[in-house]
Chains A and B, each alone.
Chain A
């Protein structure tokens, strides 16, 4: 079956194709409907990670979905910092930048984009936080005669857990305390010494990744083509182990036959990195054909944590769909 699929073959010195490219054919909705398939392979909700396959899709469309996830799906991030007091050694602008990069837990779908030019935010487009912290000597612990900063000082490190959410308007009813705030408690923001003080008001708004990377909802969103490996002849004995080592772990198995012969067999090419180590061995390079299936995209999406990665993909496709719709509406008035 895989023989019929368009593949790029990775030869020793060149790249060839098994079929003339099918991507130049006219786009046919019926054919797309018939051939297009989505397969979810791995979904780790607790790690905010998903791996899924889009099969039978044009690379331009696959790339569009990737680009949308990176730079068009919105999320919330700190955009403005009011410095009431900052006597720490970290400069105002550096501190503000660090705060902006802290991932926030808040469903961006429940907020509106702030209207540009409007000064005051409302409960529908803004989240407000407060960071008030002061460092001092730790009197009782110092009796232990320790020289560790943690023992001598109080609040010598400012972490993201010190950021406090201040609900505005009806936000207290609309959101629970655990739904809003930094995703990670242990992000180091600044280090302080006795007498240093921070008194900040943080204002978070909804934005998109093309404006600033801090608004991007994904850590990574990438795709790769599904690798395909074919063993052309039997490889046995020491050569079988050598062949196994040429590929990523789990790609080639060495199976022992009843008569004691050890033979290399293909288990799964999916997680092969496409390393070209086989071509180092003259006796092995004619035993395999390495290739990639041209319309089989393996997407890996890792979320920052505000949304589940499957929700991010759904959002991305919905954004493109709505874009088309609004363009069509405008075209009819043109």
Chain B
């Protein structure tokens, strides 16, 4: 299971602040996700860390002014997915355009 909740980060699901633990992830996903989520207006703080380089883990912290941290994470992942879709579409269109001409 790649995502887990850090113990002690509040068992209440509606908690405003949470630390998520991503297994088998690192700076690649961490920084991209951080850059999108930290720009949301309802997010007070968003940061990530790889606690130890020998452990394949990434801790992802979200603190909200209001709303649930999980929702911000979900929105961030959805936005990142859409960024990828747009990048793919534009790149493939440009590739066709380039090789065709």
Contacts and interface: CB of A to CB of B under 8 A. Distances in A.
Interface of A: 24-27, 29, 32-33, 36-40, 43, 52, 54, 58, 60-61, 63-65, 67-68, 71-72, 210, 310, 313-314, 317-318, 320-321, 323-328, 330-331, 334
Interface string B81-93: 1111111101111
B54 to A, nearest CB: 13
Interface residues of B, number: 42
Given A40-B95, A60-B32, A321-B81, A25 B88 contact: no
A21 to B, nearest CB: 12
Given A58-B35, A61-B32, A317-B88, 16 more contacts: A27-B39, A27-B79, A29-B82, A36-B86, A36-B90, A38-B87, A38-B90, A43-B99, A60-B32, A64-B28, A64-B31, A310-B91, A321-B84, A325-B81, A328-B77, A331-B77
Contact of A39 (B5, B41, B73, B94): B94
Main secondary structure of the interface of B (DSSP, over half): helix
B31 A26 contact: no
Interface in B4-59: 5, 22, 25-29, 31-32, 34-36, 39-41
A40 B98 contact: yes
Contacts of B36: 27
Nearest to B98: A40
A136 to B, nearest CB: 49
